[in-house]
Amino acid sequence: MSIQSPELNSPLSFECETGNYHTFCPISCVSWLYQKIEDSFFLVIGTKTCGYFLQNALGVMIFAEPRYAMAELEEADISAHLSDYVELKRLCQVIQKDRNPSVIFWIGTCTTEIIKMDLEGIAPKLEAELGIPIIVARANGLDYAFTQGEDTVLASLAQSCHPRIEKLSSSLDEKNSNPQLILFGSIPDPIVKDLSFELEQYGIKIGGWLPGKRYTQLPQLAEGDFVCGIHPYLSRTATTLMRRRKCRLIGAPFPIGPDGTKAWIEKICSVLNYPTPGLNEKEAKVWEQLQALITPLNSKSVFFMGDNLLEISLARFLIKCGMVVYEIGIPYLDKRYQAAELSLLEKTCAEKGQFVPVIVEKPDNYNQIDRIKDLQPDLVITGMANANPLEARGLRTKWSVEFTFAQIHGFQNAHTILELIGRPLRHMPKFDDFNQMEYATIR
Amino acid sequence: MKLAYWMYAGPAHIGTLRIATSFRDIHAIMHAPLGDDYFNVMRSMLERKRDFTPVTASVVDRHVLARGSQEKVIHNIHRKDKEENPSLILLTPTCTSSILQEDLQNFVNRASQDCNADVILADVNHYRVNEMQAADKTLEQIIRFYIQKAKKDNSLKLDKTPLPSVNLIGPCNLSFHHQHDLAELRRLLQDLNISINEIIPEGASVNNIQNLSKAWVNIVPYREIGRGAADFLFQEFNIPYTTISPIGVVETSRFIRQLEQLIVQQGYPCDFTKYIEIQTRFVSQSAWFSRSIDCQNLAGKTAVVFGDATHAAALTKILVKEMGVEVLLAGTYCKGEEEWFKEEVGNYTKQLLFTDDHHLVGDLIAKLEPSAIFGTQMERHIGKRLNIPCGVISAPVHIQNFPLSYRPFMGYEGSNQIADLIYNSFTLGMEDHLLELFGGHDTKDIIATSLSLGNSIEWDENANEELRKIPGFVRGKVKRNVEKFAKTNRLKKITIEVMYAAKQQESSNL
């Protein structure tokens, strides 16, 4: 496998700060995963704090009878007066009766970690008793940030995929003569179709997606299968697929932006030995179509405060569009899993004659705001906690969470990213007399 | 364990943070894992605050789990002391720190030794109290701390103000319409010639706390938050307090009479009878409204009321006493207020409800089929599903309940606002019924059919399925665009590939 860390003499520089930054709790992944996996039910085993976050962060979704709920721990659970096993069995029976899902996901939280609730131990017993698969993922704020929640869920799912028995496996030494390509990462169905369509054009047949539309449609995995990620935050899933399932990881940049999408297709095709005639022309055409959105962004500067791990890919795409990136804040950077993306970033900077932005892992929001005040970037990509205060100080901001929920993958969706980026820069109300003012509180 | 989908009151630390961030010189440090600082998002989004929320986390991660926080909390306290220079740093425990059982008080003691700021530990237990109870406790704790401090260094102001004055205790961040209520109370008190001594905590400095003792009367406008502090000030300085919420014409006059009485008792003669009369007859439109023909239409209408204790009780009384609406059920999720609530509205409704289970509330509403609901954001959605109009009268709420325009619920202007809210909810319901009776607004369908006339393009099964997945409100537009694309390209059948091609062309036309 050709995963390398960036070279020692590379111009990339990495810093690590205090980790005092705003981000969503990783349990937020249930919001998009329950919609993606249509026959699932997500049970978040935690406290009122977790519940409060979910109901507020997910806004109106909560009123649509979602297929997720809290198993709210009470004092008796914490002090072990109640048996976790009995309690979870009771709740899962209710869920089974009311919703009849094909799978129940247990999302472990900070509290289940601290009181060391043995979810992984209880799950197989209950699974057998209730006759329903139970998958445990520890998406807690002690270890992970925001989108990494999906990573923990998919890593658990990867372990529970059934092995594929090859029908024609006659020879003993060649275990998997017919390796398949499995793509991992949760994206809405239209993009699944879209990306599959792109690869099919070059003759590649996709063996399955992790996750699929339904739990019952999980791809089967065999040793030697090829796997490739579509999100930058799926390093645990990648590791699980490689180590536990003996799959071969195709380390590619992520299909975000036309450059990323092209590089992603190219890498997959080259590993699988398929030629890609016309791919360059196709990419060029997409850039041409985007030109009207790109022109106004030229030489505008961006600062990523960092909270969802999409930052490197987005920064790379924006630099390619002619923007100047001052800083890439990111919660966590797996240099191995993101190696291809990092080197594409480096390449893009060289090509555009741009300095390579500093990558700040576990950033410190307080220090970042200091730097933002000095640098005065044209656009700060940040969480909602900082957006309004920054706007009040005359800076333009873009809410980073939107990039997680919008459809941004593939050739067709590059314009969505540019529209999101362009909106705060473009939509300046026309009354200039007011807009020059600062709106911070008078001291 | 409890299976829960939604909750009315948030966790304890939210209450503590609401109090801390309402003061202008407190910095709160949460002892919490990454992601628990969602409070900052809420304050910045819902209240549209211009300043950075003065809350940081001392992050609990794996290392803390393994070895304890050690110097981390102390370091964070020192750091914020230097960076932000607050008067008080409030260390806020969360559900996580509740079970870690670290000796946070010890960190506080050590950190305060070389801090400019005062440092205290919020005394709330996540598993015992909810958001409102925690807010009440924290406010009392902070006031107690600074009164005792002032006593120690003899800076306590013990003499009363020469003329009658009041403290407003409890209004804080993320409360329901509290900014507007405050403005209305200011106006009301000014009319009565009563000066406001201090408003705590909204916009106050902790240095104002030593002045609290100068007031004649304490007002707790919302009974959920502030009674603990008012009790303490009564014990300490013998300051009487009122918890009558001036919501609705009748209650506002009761509130004013109570104020009058508490002031007269302290030897200052005053008589607000005339004021109440003039306001009721001429300034507030609501008393006249309840006599008017419009309001007669409300006779025999039914309603269900649910919310926090303050607002649910007030609305029930307004509906029954001022509007003549029959309240089928009145309830609150503030279970601690059960006795008070029973006493206040027990006579005005057929059924009382004390629960924090929104399913139960929804089921009862479905069973009772009222003509309108007055509740929280949750009841609004229940109403949507059941096709019953709903006026939002209480937290928890969304951003649309943080209006820019002046929308008090308290005082005489508040009674006008509420009358509008009630009347609009019922007429909307009536209009809906009439529309249904006469077959609805019919123009939409006619236009749609005429547009699709002469449509001979066929959609294959896959494309049709794809089309159905597109959300309803844009589906028509997508369908028209794809068909237009097919027509211009002389295609007879629409397949998924055609849909993609159309989409691609559309995005290139942007």
Please give the helix or strand (H or E) that residue B57 lies within, else none: strand B55-59
Q: Tell whether domain A175-272 is in CATH 3.20.20.70.
A: no
Q: Give the model's pLDDT for residue B438.
A: 60
> Is the pLDDT at A385 greater than 80, yes or no?
yes
> Tokens 């090509």 label which residue?
A351
Chain A 391-410, residues with CB within 8 Å of chain B CB atoms? 392
Tell me if chain B has a CB within 8 Å of the CB of A1. no
Contact A355/B at CB under 8 A: no
Sorted by where each starts, the structural domains of chain B and their CATH numbers stand as 12-129 (3.40.50.1980), 165-283 (3.40.50.1980), 288-438 (3.40.50.1980), 458-508 (1.10.8.550)
Please state, for a pLDDT cut of 90, what percent of chain B lies above it: 68
The reported pLDDT for the residue numbered B263 is 97
Q: Which residue has the higher pLDDT, A145 or B300?
A: A145
- For A364-381, write each residue's pLDDT tens digit: 999 999 999 999 999 999
**Model confidence band, residue A392 (pLDDT cutoffs 50, 70, 90):** very high
Whole-prediction pTM:
0.88
Q: Is the pLDDT of residue B446 over 60?
A: no
Q: How far apart are CA A148 and CA B271, in angstroms?
A: 65
pLDDT of residue A122: 96
pLDDT above 60 (res B450) = no
pLDDT tens across A2-16, in order? 444 445 457 889 999
What is the per-residue pLDDT across B178-217, written as a single tens digit (0 to 9) for each?
Answer: 999 999 999 999 999 999 999 999 999 999 999 999 999 9
Mean pLDDT check: name the lowest of A39-53, A143-157, B277-291, B410-424.
Answer: B277-291
The residue with tokens 């039910």 is: A41
CB of A385 less than 8 A from some CB of B: yes
Instruction: Map tokens 């990783």 to a residue.
Output: A26
Pairwise CA distance, residues A82 & B436, whole Å: 53
Is A34's Cβ below 8 Å from some Cβ in B? no
Burial of A173 (0-12, 13-18, 19+ CB in 10 A): exposed
Whether A316 has a pLDDT exceeding 70, the answer reads yes
Q: What is the mean pLDDT of chain A?
A: 91
Concatenated DSSP letters of A83-108: -HHHHHHHHHHHHHHHH--SEEEEEE
Q: Which residues of A are known binding-site members?
A: 25, 50, 110
Nearest residue to B353 (alpha-carbon basis) of B368, B340, B341, B370: B341
If one counts every other C-beta atom within 10 angstroms of the C-beta of residue A299, the result is: 8
Domains A26-144 and A276-431 share a fold: yes
Which member of B11, B45, B510 has the closest CB to residue A52? B11
Q: A7, exposed or middle or buried, with CB in 10 Å at 0-12, 13-18, 19+?
A: exposed
**What backbone phi and psi angles, to 5 degrees, belong to A359?**
-105, 120
pLDDT of B449 strictly over 50: no
Q: With bands split at pLDDT 50, 70 and 90, how would you rate the model's confidence at A180?
A: very high
CB B39, CB B17: distance < 8 Å: yes
Enumerate residues 6+ apart whose C-beta is below 8 A from B113.
none
pLDDT greater than 80 at residue A357: yes
> Between A and B, how many residue pairs show a Cβ–Cβ distance under 8 A?
179
Contact at CB, A25 and B40, closer than 8 angstroms: no
**Quick one: which of A416, A30, A408, A405 has its CA closest to A191?**
A408
Domain borders along chain A are 26-144, 175-272, 276-431
pLDDT, position A435: 65
> Does residue B455 register a pLDDT over 70?
no
- Average pLDDT (A52-69) is 79
Give me the percent of chain A exceeding a pLDDT of 70: 91
Domain A26-144 is of which CATH architecture?
3-Layer(aba) Sandwich (3.40)
More confident residue, B433 or A118: A118
**Hey, which residues of B are catalytic here?**
294
Tokens of B270: 């005053």
pLDDT of residue A295 exceeding 60: yes
Query: How far apart are alpha carbons B428 and B450 in whole angstroms?
Result: 31
What gap in Å lies between CA A215 and CA A201, rounded to an integer?
27
The pLDDT tens digits of the residues spanning A194-211 come to 999 999 999 999 999 999
pLDDT for the residue numbered B483: 84
Which pLDDT does position A1 carry in this prediction?
40
- Reported as a single tens digit per residue, the pLDDT across B83-99 is 999 999 999 999 998 88
d(Cα A252, Cα A181) in Å, to the nearest integer?
14
Structure confidence by residue, pLDDT tens digits, A109-129: 999 999 999 999 999 999 999
Residue B458: which pLDDT band, with cuts at 50, 70 and 90?
Answer: confident
* pLDDT average, residue stretch B473-477: 65
- The whole-number pLDDT of residue A82 equals 86
pLDDT band at A93; cut points 50, 70, 90: very high
CA distances from B297 to B286, B290, B326 (A): 15, 10, 13
Pairwise CB contact (< 8 Å): A72 & B4: yes
CATH class, domain A276-431, is alpha beta
Predicted-complex ipTM score? 0.91
Element (H, E) at B90: strand B88-93
- Average pLDDT on A225-250 reads 96
CA distance B5 to chain A (A): 5
Residues of B in contact with A419 (CB under 8 A): 510
Q: State the pLDDT at residue A157.
A: 96
